[in-house]
Amino acid sequence: MIKFSAHLEMNFGKEVPFRDRWMAAKSFGFEGCEFVWRNVELPEAVHVRQTAPLEVSCLGGTTGFAPGARPVLFLPEDRDRLARDTETAVAYARELSCSNLIMVPGNKIEGWSVEKHRQETVASLKYIAPLLEGAGITALIEPLNSKVDHKGVYCDTAEEGFRIIEETASPNVKVLYDAYHRQVMGENIVRAVREGHRAIGYYHLARVPGRNEPVGGEIDAFAFLEAVAETGYDGFVGLEYKPSADYLSAFQQIRSVYPDYLGSARKEA
C-alpha cells in the first residue's frame, strides 16, 4: 500500500522547530518523512524518531546546484568530496534506517554539451556506487524542471534521468520521479511511470501550478497514484510542496482528500 511521506522542510518552513515538524506530521497520520540531513544534528533526529516513530523515507542534501557548500554531482573536481559526503550521508541514513539519498543534478556548465554533463554524472555515480551497494543505500537522481523553479539545471527530463540510470548500471542508483517537475515540463506522467518504473526508486507529488499541497490543479493525482500502484510499487510518495496557507490547513486538506494514504485516517475510515 502506497503511503504519503511528509517533507519536513518544504511543508513547514524554517521557523518551525524540527521536533515540532516531526510531531505534526506524526499527528496527522503520516507514516514517513523526509528532510535534508545536513540541516539536523543526527542525535536529535535519532531521539525524536525514538520518541515518535516515523520511517525516514529518504534524505536530501548530499549534492548541490553550484560550487560551494555541497559537492556538484557532475564536477570531476568535486568527486572525492562527493564520496566523503556520501559516506557521511550513508552513515546518517543507516542510523535512521533510511535507504534513500536524493541527489540533485546541478546547474549546467557553460560550454558543456548534454552528453558531457551526462558522462561526468555517470562517472561520479560509478565512483560512489560501490559505497552505496555495500551499504544497501540507493542514490535517487531527481530530474528537475528548468521552466519555473530551476532554470539552467542539467537533467530536466525524465528521459535524461533514465539515460543516466541505464549508463550507470548500478542497482543502487535510480530516478526520483517528481510529478510536479514532470508536469511543469509538459510530460505525460502516467505514461512515464508505466514505461519507466523499473528505473524509478521513489516519487514526489505537489500541485501544478504553485507547488502547493496536491489538491486540485493540473495533475490528476489519483490517476498518477494509481499508475504508480499498478507497477507494484508499495513504498512512500513524498509530498514535497509549499503550503498555500499554513501547514496545518494544508495537512487537513490532505487528510480529507487522501485518507487512504495516511495511517490514522485509514484507521478511522
Q: Which residues contact 166 (CB under 8 A, 6 or more apart)?
A: 199
Sorted by where each starts, the structural domains of the chain and their CATH numbers stand as 3-268 (3.20.20.150)
Give the angle subtended at the CA of 213 by the CAs of 209 and 219, to the nearest 5°: 50
The cell numbers describing 45, all together, are 533526529
H/E element holding 158? helix 158-168
pLDDT above 70: percentage of residues in the chain: 98
The band of 264, judged by pLDDT with boundaries at 50, 70 and 90, is: low
pLDDT tens for 32-63 read: 999 999 999 999 999 999 999 999 999 999 99
pLDDT tens for 157-169 read: 999 999 999 999 9
- Give residue 191's identity as a one-letter amino acid code: R
- Give residue 86's identity as a one-letter amino acid code: T
Model-level pTM greater than 0.85? yes
